[in-house]
Amino acid sequence: MAAMSRLSRAELQSLMGLISHRSVRGMAGAAQAAVDVGDWSLPIPLVEDLQKHNQGRGPQWVFLGCPGVGKGTYASRLSKLLDVPHIAMGDLVRNELKGSSPLSRQMSDTMKAGKLLPDKVIFSILSRRLEEGLAAGEKGFILDGFPRTMRQAEILEDVTEVDLVVNLKLREDVLISKCLGRRICSQCGGNFNLAKIDVKGEDGAPNIFMPPLLPPPSCASKMTIRADDTDEVVRARLRVYHEESAPVEDFYRIRGKLLDFNVGGGIRETWPNLLEALNLTHKAKEAFQQKLVA
């Protein structure tokens, strides 16, 4: 497989043709049987090992997880720590939605119904972003919100080499509350959340406490709600995720690249635990000392 840093412009442009005729491979019987065994204890690659594996590029990671689990929050922090771009599929799609073309309107209608966008549309948007990154000299990436389906995962595997997949997990009632509490400042574009999560754990599960992320006074009167953050649409998106995207977890698990991580609190509680799970505590300390990460 070609690494993204070596992917040519022609190869990126061929993505659309690949989607048009490529058939989806099924998992082999042995692989499917391995999935049924249950959770595996998998080694987590160190950043240094990944860089030695392919000199000249940074880590190439993927973040999975239900809508509202916090993929963007943690992926953006890690991108600063690892000095690679954070490519959020949701942000790319929302930028497309700002247009007034027939495609933009069709995309908007699809998302408001809680459905996934067609693979052809997604890869068109992503390939354009990757081309721009290559031209700017980017090496490595953290993909957030992509791939969402088995078809997308298999096509991505043909195009590039993913080193690690971080699968963020959070109970569904908390996810719904978080999504319904999201707000965006219409002036600065900042993301905030009015939801205060304080859930007592049951059957041995830990308590979950997430304080609200309130806007500053300058933004308080400019809060807007995303069109797809309604109770009906959020539940539809979660249902679609479990039906279409959850199998992607097994796709990467059988390849030894999946790290399941339970989000058990707010950013202050979760961030150190995630760094430890990724073997990045030492790198975070170095970055803090150099004032690279707030």
Catalytic residues: 71, 148, 182, 226, 237
- Alpha carbon distances (Å) from 219 to 73, 105, 179, 215: 19, 28, 19, 6
Taking phi first (over 0 means left), then psi (-120 to 50 degrees means alpha), and beta for anything else, what does residue 111 get? alpha
Sheet holding 60-64, edge to edge: 86-88, 141-144, 60-64, 164-169, 258-262
User: Could you give the CA distance from residue 110 to residue 178 in angstroms, rounded to a whole number?
Assistant: 22
The tokens for 222 are 């400019």
Q: What letter represents residue 7's amino acid?
A: L
- The CA angle 168-165-4, to the nearest 5 degrees, is 140
Cis peptide before 43 (omega within 30 of 0): no
Which residues, at least 6 apart from 154, have a Cβ–Cβ distance to it below 8 Å? 22, 24, 25, 251
User: Could you give the CA distance from residue 145 to residue 68 in angstroms, rounded to a whole number?
Assistant: 11
The stretches of 118-171 forming alpha helices (DSSP H) are: 119-135, 150-159
Which residues, at least 6 apart from 225, have a Cβ–Cβ distance to it below 8 Å? 182, 183, 184
